[in-house]
Structure 1
Amino acid sequence: MLGVGVHRPSGIHGWWAAPLAAIGVLVAVAPLVLSFVPSSAAVHKSRCTAYDTSVNPPVCTARVDEAIEYALVPADAEQVEPRLSINGATTYDTKGRIYFVTITEPKISLLDWLVTRDDAAARFLSHHDKYGDQTAQQLTQSGQQQMRSAKDNAVYVALKAAGYPVELKPGDVVVDFLLCLKANEAGTECEQFSPADKLLNPGDHLTAVDGTPLKTVDDLPPILKGISPGTSVEIEFTRNGTPMKGTIETIAAPNEQTQRTIIGFRPIDTTTVELPDGINVQINTDLIGGPSAGLAFTLTLIDQLTEGDLMGGKKVAVTGTIDLNGNVGAIGGLNSKASAVQQVGVKYFLVPAAQDQQGWPDTVAAARKVVGNDVQIIPVATLQEALDALVRIGGDPVKLATLPAT
Structure 2
Amino acid sequence: MPRRTATMLASFLMLIALLCAGVLINVPYAEMSPGPTVNTLSKHAGDPVLNIKGGPKQYRTTGHLNMTTVRVTGAEYRMNLVEALSGWLQHDSAVVPHSTLYPDDKSAQEVDEQNAEEFSASQESAKVAALRELDIPVGSHVLVGSVVKGGPAEKRLHAGDVITAVDGKAVKKPESVADLVTKREPGRKVTFTVIPADKAAASKKAGKQPSEADGKRVTVATKKAEEDGRPIVGIQPALGHTFPFTIDIKLADIGGPSAGLMFGLGIVDKLTKTDLTGGQFVAGTGTIDDQGKVGEIGGIQMKTVAARAKGAKFFLTPAGNCPSAAKDKPDGLTLVKVGSMDEAMNALKKIREGETDALTRCKKG
With the length of structure 1 as denominator, give the TM-score of the two structures. Answer: 0.58
Q: Pick the structure with more helix per residue.
A: 2
2: CA distance, partners of 1:293 / 1:344: 17
| Structure 1 residue identity aligned to 2:298 | G
Alpha-carbon offset, residue 338 of structure 1: 2.3
For the 8 Å contact 2:258–2:286, the answer to whether it is kept is yes
Matches within 5 A, 1:1-400: 14-17=2-5, 20-21=8-9, 23-24=11-12, 27=15, 31=19, 34-40=22-28, 69-81=29-41, 82-89=48-55, 90-106=57-73, 107-119=78-90, 121-127=93-99, 130-172=102-144, 216=174, 245-247=225-227, 270-276=238-244, 279-355=245-321, 364-394=322-352
Aligned residues: 271
| CA distances 1:272-313 after superposition (whole Å, capped 9, x unpaired) | 33122xx32111121311111000000011111111210111
Could you say if the C-alpha distance between residues 129 and 293 of structure 1 is closer, same or farther in structure 2, counting changes exceeding 3 Å? Answer: closer
For the 8 Å contact 2:84–2:95, the answer to whether it is kept is no
Alpha-carbon offset, residue 23 of structure 1: 4.3
2: CA distance, partners of 1:125 / 1:113: 10
1: CA distance, partners of 2:3 / 2:89: 39
For the 8 Å contact 2:115–2:255, the answer to whether it is kept is yes
Q: Secondary structure at the match of 1:91?
A: coil
Could you say if the C-alpha distance between residues 170 and 72 of structure 1 is closer, same or farther in structure 2, counting changes exceeding 3 Å? Answer: farther
2: CA distance, partners of 1:376 / 1:317: 10
For the 8 Å contact 2:304–2:330, the answer to whether it is kept is no
Over aligned residue pairs, what C-alpha RMSD do you find?
3.5
| CA distances 1:336-355 after superposition (whole Å, capped 9, x unpaired) | 32232233331211111144
Q: Secondary structure at the match of 1:164?
A: coil
Q: Secondary structure at the match of 1:393?
A: helix
Could you say if the C-alpha distance between residues 85 and 381 of structure 1 is closer, same or farther in structure 2, counting changes exceeding 3 Å? Answer: same
2: CA distance, partners of 1:245 / 1:299: 42
Alpha-carbon offset, residue 375 of structure 1: 1.8
Alpha-carbon offset, residue 165 of structure 1: 3.3
Could you say if the C-alpha distance between residues 80 and 217 of structure 1 is closer, same or farther in structure 2, counting changes exceeding 3 Å? Answer: farther
| CA distances 1:195-215 after superposition (whole Å, capped 9, x unpaired) | xxxxxxxxxxxxxxxxxx997
Alpha-carbon offset, residue 317 of structure 1: 1.0
For the 8 Å contact 1:71–1:123, the answer to whether it is kept is yes
| CA distances 1:2-51 after superposition (whole Å, capped 9, x unpaired) | xxxxxxxxxxx6344455356446656855663443223xxxxxxxxxxx
Q: Which runs of 5+ in 1 are unaligned?
A: 1-12, 41-68, 175-212, 222-242, 249-267, 356-363, 398-406
With the length of structure 2 as denominator, give the TM-score of the two structures. Answer: 0.64
2: CA distance, partners of 1:366 / 1:317: 17
Moved over 6 A (4+): 218-221
| Structure 1 residue identity aligned to 2:106 | Q
Quick one: percent identity of the two aligned structures?
A: 26
